[in-house]
Structure 1
Amino acid sequence: MQLKKAAFRRIGAGFCGTVWALELNHPPAQEYAFKREDGGPGRSLEKEYEMHKLVLHAMELYEQANISRPLHVSIPRCHQFMKPDDSWWSENLERFPDGYAPCNTLRSDRIPPVGQQTREILIDKFCPARLVSQIKDSDANRDCLIRPYLGRHRYNSKRPKSGFTAFSLRNFPLHLDQMEDLEIPLTDLVIYSELMAETLAILHWFGMMDANDVEFVLAPPRKNGKKPAIISNILGDHVMWILAFDCCNEISFDIEGVEQAVRAFFKNDPFYPRPTSSPGLWSAFRVKYIQTSSEILAELADKTLLDLPVRFIDGVESKSVKA
């Protein structure tokens, strides 16, 4: 009698599709996440696969370059792109619930979910009281990644408190005022800002892409392989990860490319600090972005490109004033 294979469980969903993984007690497959192309129209996992490889290559170029500060952001490794006729499906389709059919699927590293202690801190601090017990017992909320929104406050005069009381820890948006409520040190918020700035500069000038709709999350470091510097505060030991590359597009090294990158900056979720809503963190972001960009472009022969990073920053500041 053949034993039934361990089932995949859905750990996330977005416009592009759903994300699945094995339970954490099923090594080594627990280390992988499988993203299915079963979401909205117009999104391509094959494109994400190609852009993901470009991102990893850009990061390799950065690490190899003679640049003053080592890379600290983590990127899931991208392992395999499977089409519906791939032999992988004959071995794994039964792991999905009944009714699921083969489709384009991407296999990459699974970003480790946030641990129980950190989840309970978030629940106790921000979950509506009547939902606390339910959320703590929820199986789905074990799949917790924290989205650091340095560019937005949860509540202010322009964003009044909502009566909507649903609560989920999946892709949990942690706004700047919530980070302050948790008493996360300003030094750590500056580190988050600099990591985003450094990464954006790498994607722009080594990756030649606009970084449209990329996502940053705070989560534990990977268990094996190279680890970046670990940040420790009330959220536990964690690093910053970057993911979701299917909306990224190539840019040219000219004014048109800079303008495209500025548009992508504002189309993204409010991960990056803003000149108006978080000026102190924006200052740190600004300095780090220009510094990293200048060091990258100094590696190239064409020195006329050195003004492009400042033009990008000026474009963001100008658009922020008009907004």
Structure 2
Amino acid sequence: MHTVGASNMLELRRIGAGFCGSVWAPTQGDPSAFKREDGGPGRSLFNDFEMHMRVLESLDRLTGLGDTDLSLHIQVPQCYRFIEATDQEWWNKNLTSFPRGYSPCNVLHSERIPPLPQNIREFLIDEYCPTPLISEIKASDANQDCLIRPYLGRRRITPSNKDWPSRYKAFSLRNFPLHEDQMEDLGIGADITTCAEMMAETLAMIHWYGGLDANDVEFVLAPPRNGTQPRLSNALGGHTMWLLDFDCCRWMTMDAKGVDQAVTAFLRNDPFYPRPGQPLWEKFRDRYLQVSSNIVIIEDKRRKPLPEMFIGRVEEAQWKRNERRVP
């Protein structure tokens, strides 16, 4: 079991924060992440833990079948332990690993997703950072924690201009958003389809093998874990796609009501997924239906109509949205 032990009392450094809470990692050695439940109300770190474990279990079981038609390429951080605020033994050993003033709370201990290396970080800074901030951002410790959010469902309305004064205020490589048109500009357009298909097969697994709605999950591009091969190799170096953040996921029923729940989650999420009407949508849709079909044959053939229903209702909802935008 990975842990921050009493014998070495590793110092923890804050590497990110979200609505659910802050995320910390050892300053050296152990590739762990510790997510504290110190964010906004209404979020449950225990639900994050349960849903995370369900996704890992589903991925492991599918991989164990050895079926090439169900070969998934996503990486999901290992989930080691849910630590309660009342776990005196753990907190007596590890509270001093956090900065002074922090108190015990619920914590989720998981594998840390490796950040992108320095040469890729500097490439992104040179490409997108406002010129007056480049030196400051390159020297920033916080920007060492670089993961890329691939936004395949959004193109920028206007290309960014790194010299516009309005862009001088802030720049961060943490959860750096990379839109579809930016990927094309970087010359990695050929890999966009691969990313879309990885998202599609992962979503199919979560829906029809895990039985979850995938609400508010996140995808990031980052190096693969040690001992595994990168799925992609391009201007962003050797990397793969990771899946994380499960605290908003909920169980869904295997019927039309569950499909509607999954559709709502899909449309509300950040624009990771391609949208109907984009050329990329067909690739996403085809891979989603292919993997879903193979899963329902294994799980329950009565679910066979549901993946098609999901896709159809996503397309219908998107068309209605588009109609409302037309003046």
TM-score (norm 2): 0.91
1:34 is aligned to 34
2:183 is aligned to 179
Aligned match of 2:157 in 151, 155, 158?
155
1:13 is aligned to 17
Distance of 1:18 and 1:98 partners within structure 2: 15
**What is the CA-CA distance between 1:5 and the residue it aligns to?**
3.3
2:233 is aligned to 232
1:307 is aligned to 305
Q: Which amino acid aligns with 1:316?
A: V
- Contact kept, 8 Å, 1:219 with 1:241, in 2: the verdict is yes
Q: Percent identity?
A: 54
What is the aligned length? Answer: 309
1:203 is aligned to 206
Unaligned runs of 5+ in 1: none
2:325 is aligned to none
Paired residue secondary structure (1:71): coil
- Contact kept, 8 Å, 1:61 with 1:206, in 2: the verdict is no
**What is the CA-CA distance between 1:111 and the residue it aligns to?**
0.3
1:272 is aligned to 273
Aligned match of 2:148 in 119, 136, 146?
146
Aligned match of 1:111 in 87, 94, 113?
113
| CA deviation map 1:283-322 (0-9, x unaligned) | 100000000000000113x433211111111111111111
2:61 is aligned to 61
Unaligned runs of 5+ in 2: 1-5, 322-327
Q: Which amino acid aligns with 2:282?
A: S
Distance of 1:248 and 1:232 partners within structure 2: 31
**What is the CA-CA distance between 1:153 and the residue it aligns to?**
1.4
Distance of 1:156 and 1:298 partners within structure 2: 45
- Contact kept, 8 Å, 1:67 with 1:295, in 2: the verdict is no
Establish whether residue 223 from structure 1 lines up as the match of residue 222 from structure 2.
no
| CA deviation map 1:46-87 (0-9, x unaligned) | 111111110011112221333514221000000011111211
Distance of 2:132 and 2:165 partners within structure 1: 16
Structure 1: 4+ residue segments shifted above 2 A: 2-6, 64-67, 154-157, 161-165, 227-230
Structure 1 range deviating more: 193-202 or 229-238: 229-238
Structure 1 range deviating more: 140-149 or 78-87: 78-87
Distance of 2:7 and 2:107 partners within structure 1: 25
Q: Which amino acid aligns with 2:21?
A: G
Distance 1:162 1:154, change over 3 A: farther
Paired residue secondary structure (1:298): helix
Distance of 1:228 and 1:311 partners within structure 2: 35
Q: Which amino acid aligns with 1:133?
A: S
Q: Which amino acid aligns with 1:118?
A: I
Paired residue secondary structure (2:114): coil
